[in-house]
Structure 1
Amino acid sequence: MGFVHEYCSTFGNDLEPTSNWLEVMFSICLVLSGLMLFTLLIGNIQVFLHAVMATKRKMQLRCRDMEWWMRRRQLPSRLRQRVRHYERQRWTTMGGEDEMEMIKDLPEGLRRDIKRYLCLDLIKKVPLFHNLDDLILDNICDRVKPIVFSKDEKIIREGDPVPRMVFLVRGKIKSSQRLSKGVVATNVLEAGGFLGDELLSWCLRRPFNERLPASSATFVCIEAAEAFALDANHLKYITDHFRYKFANERLKRTARYYSSNWRTWAAVNIQFAWRRYRRRTRGGGGAGPMNPVVESGGDVENKLLRYAAMFMSIRPHDHLE
């Protein structure tokens, strides 16, 4: 009986009910509060599960529609696999939602503040925008849109019109530029880099030319990348309204330093200058003085080929010169 009594007292069964109305009211409030909190917990769990299942269902419907379309159009298996890979990458990165689509109908001021909160820190990581005014950054944040590139995706080909500037937030992109017969210059863009700098010259050129500039290189993702894109018409609007800020020497030097076109041009010229120097001084050796070597007539052809290759890498156009 002692064991039974101890077991019952553990659950409070041996407590005698009170006749004090304050204690009775406290007990009733405590029980009701517990029931209300438990109900809220169950409700929040249901809302969370409903949101997760709705998002998953939306993704499943999109994948089903995409698979049906690919079968109807009889796409080859290689293209189907690339589409599936991109959809998975986009789902992982964006969480299955298009944030810009969700806020597009909000009032302009509210939408701008939201996009500033979402994009400003990432935009400031781009070296080209480090020294811009807050007013210009607000206009850039209001017009950029997030974009995702999957691995091995070709962003733009050499010679194609440049429709937008792309500012890399995460990932790596390789640029390839043909310089001469059999010679290709490559460069790797990482977080903070950008491509499409031809649009800066295009926007600030006077008289203005409506035709979009051609890309000077081919850009391919070597790993999954996240970026922000600024369309050509939006960039033109910003440069037209804030031309005083873009027409300064510091911004020009920054654009040159981080531009893949300028880096390629500089690398080619440095390489050819070094080769010419080595050919002229190859008579020396070790740590002693170099002896210049006079080029013979047989080297004229090689010299012409080197200069032809150098001039194939056209010096990028500066909109301030």
Structure 2
Amino acid sequence: MREGEGQIDMVAWRKITQEVLEKNCVVGNGSPFNYGIYEKAVSSGVVDSNNFISKYCYCLWWGLQNLSTLGQGLQTSTYPLEVLFSIALAILGLLLFALLIGNMQTYLQSITVRLEEMRIKRSDSEQWMHHRVLPPQLRERVRRYEQYKWLETRGVDEEGLVQNLPKDLRREIKRHLCMNLVRKVPLFANIDERLLDAICERLKPSLYTKDTYVVREGDPTVEMLFIIRGQLESVTTDGGRSGFLNTGILQESDFCGEELLTWALDPKACSNLPPSTRTVKALTDVEAFALIADEVKFITTQFKRIHSRQVQHTFRFYSQQWRTWAAIFIQAAWRRHVKRKIIQVVSSSDVNGDYDGEEENEAAMISMNDEEYDHDDDETTALLNYSGQSI
């Protein structure tokens, strides 16, 4: 009975509550209560709804709307706490708006300062080129380099910024920036961590624009270059030998300037920098890391691991210089093979009495070219012996 009476009481209470709400909680001119800032919420019916998502979305929109308008749409009642809440809402919206304006101003000022610095540098560069009467082609190359450098660095001197940091922090930053890139270079794929850290710590960023010569054949090799992005053309004439031309394309993960490593690994090498065996020219805009001669010498002196046969074999396998020497040696061996074959044919014809004038002329031409071929073979042997490797 008590359970049944309780259910009857709950039903009666709900009826009474509903009657009270309908009588005293109406919205409009006839309402006995001033809802103030909550009038729209009551009139929208969201208060009576049992859908949580609808209530949450409506409240979120109400808050964002009044924060963005600094509470200008709020019509408060005379209730003190409601008025104080509206004041706090307006002040909070004002603070957020001021914070947004301040951040935008700081950002625009930083960009403006760097753009102004770039404009001043460009103006100084233009005045200097005009004063020195540089040709239009050189002026355009200077402008293109300055623009490319700005796009890559945004006017920030990265190397100077890193050098001003403590040594340990500088090493960590260099490791973060360069380690993955260095590992992509096949030459350094199987090198231990200590040697990789030493290499990363000494790498310096380098930029080259299209049609820029990185090094010319015969000039001293001052740095090894490890390519991050772009393409370069590598050409050699083997010291200007007539009729000889070898070309190759260097791309991401390739390197050039390997003459420095050969020079640094040779304990009997003189202090003079080795001459470049190839002419390297940028085909596109190139981003790379450079390792100067003194740093290469330091690394090869301090880390004996780089003297191992495995590292040297990997270096020779990916070296453009060694590939050229291998091609020359194969060509020389092929010429000797062809020469022996022709001599055998001529000797066989001579024994059989079929030796005619045409074969005699051919044999004479082979004899004339023999000295040139032998000279090429001697050059190849000398180059290989210079690097500590015999044919």
2:318 is matched with 258
Which sits farther off after the overlay, 12-21 or 31-40? 12-21
Return the letter of the residue paired with 1:297: A
1:297 is matched with 363
1:196 aligns with 2:254: no
Distance 1:315 1:109, change over 3 A: same
Q: Which structure has the greater CA radius of gyration? A: 2
2:147 is matched with 88
Which sits farther off after the overlay, 204-213 or 68-77? 204-213
Distance 1:317 1:20, change over 3 A: farther
Which sits farther off after the overlay, 106-115 or 29-38? 29-38
Q: 2:227, 2:286 within 8 Å by CA — same for their partners in 1?
A: yes
1:110 aligns with 2:169: yes
Q: 2:74, 2:86 within 8 Å by CA — same for their partners in 1?
A: no
Which of 187, 194, 210 in structure 2 is aligned with 1:151? 210
Distance across 1 between alignment mates of 2:371 and 2:104 = 75
Q: 1:116, 1:141 within 8 Å by CA — same for their partners in 2?
A: yes
Task: Tell me by how many angstroms 1:148 deviates.
Answer: 0.4
Return the letter of the residue paired with 1:318: S
Distance across 1 between alignment mates of 2:203 and 2:317 = 23
Distance across 2 between alignment mates of 1:38 and 1:316 = 75
Distance across 1 between alignment mates of 2:385 and 2:252 = 23
What SS does the aligned partner of 1:191 have?
coil
- The percent of aligned pairs where both chains have the same amino acid is 39
Q: 1:174, 1:189 within 8 Å by CA — same for their partners in 2?
A: yes
1:121 is matched with 180
Distance 1:319 1:241, change over 3 A: farther
Unaligned segments of structure 1, at least 5 residues: 3-7, 283-291
2:159 is matched with 100
1:33 aligns with 2:92: yes
What does 1:1-321 correspond to in 2, within 5 Å? 15-17=75-77, 19=79, 21=81, 23-179=82-238, 180-243=241-304, 245-274=305-334, 293-294=345-346, 297-298=363-364, 299-313=366-380, 314-315=383-384, 317-318=386-387
Q: When you count helix as a share of all residues, which structure comes out higher? A: 2
Unaligned segments of structure 2, at least 5 residues: 1-27, 29-38, 45-64, 66-71, 348-361
Task: Tell me by how many angstroms 1:97 deviates.
Answer: 1.9
TM-score (norm. length: structure 1):
0.84
What SS does the aligned partner of 2:237 have?
strand
Task: Tell me by how many angstroms 1:89 deviates.
Answer: 1.7
Cα-to-partner distance string for 1:173-230 (whole Å, 9 max, x where unaligned)? 1111113213211111111111111111221222352111111111111111110001
Distance across 2 between alignment mates of 1:319 and 1:85 = 43
Return the letter of the residue paired with 2:220: P
Distance across 2 between alignment mates of 1:78 and 1:88 = 16
Distance across 2 between alignment mates of 1:72 and 1:13 = 65
Distance 1:131 1:13, change over 3 A: closer
Task: Tell me by how many angstroms 1:270 deviates.
Answer: 3.1
Task: Tell me by how many angstroms 1:65 deviates.
Answer: 0.8
What SS does the aligned partner of 2:134 have?
coil
Distance 1:13 1:87, change over 3 A: closer
Q: For the aligned residues, what is the CA RMSD?
A: 2.8
What SS does the aligned partner of 2:387 have?
coil
Distance across 2 between alignment mates of 1:67 and 1:204 = 45
Task: Tell me by how many angstroms 1:67 deviates.
Answer: 0.9
Task: Tell me by how many angstroms 1:162 deviates.
Answer: 0.8
Cα-to-partner distance string for 1:151-170 (whole Å, 9 max, x where unaligned)? 11111111111111111111
- Between 1 and 2, higher relative CO (CA 8 Å, sep ≥ 6) is seen in 1
Distance across 1 between alignment mates of 2:206 and 2:140 = 20
Task: Tell me by how many angstroms 1:265 deviates.
Answer: 1.5
Q: 2:223, 2:292 within 8 Å by CA — same for their partners in 1?
A: yes
Distance across 2 between alignment mates of 1:97 and 1:316 = 46
Q: 1:167, 1:229 within 8 Å by CA — same for their partners in 2?
A: yes
Distance across 1 between alignment mates of 2:143 and 2:209 = 10
Which sits farther off after the overlay, 311-320 or 180-189? 311-320
What SS does the aligned partner of 2:79 have?
coil
Distance across 2 between alignment mates of 1:191 and 1:278 = 39
Distance across 2 between alignment mates of 1:267 and 1:44 = 62
Q: 1:262, 1:316 within 8 Å by CA — same for their partners in 2?
A: no
Which sits farther off after the overlay, 135-144 or 61-70? 135-144
TM-score (norm. length: structure 2):
0.70
Task: Tell me by how many angstroms 1:76 deviates.
Answer: 1.7
Task: Tell me by how many angstroms 1:302 deviates.
Answer: 2.8
Distance across 2 between alignment mates of 1:294 and 1:188 = 43
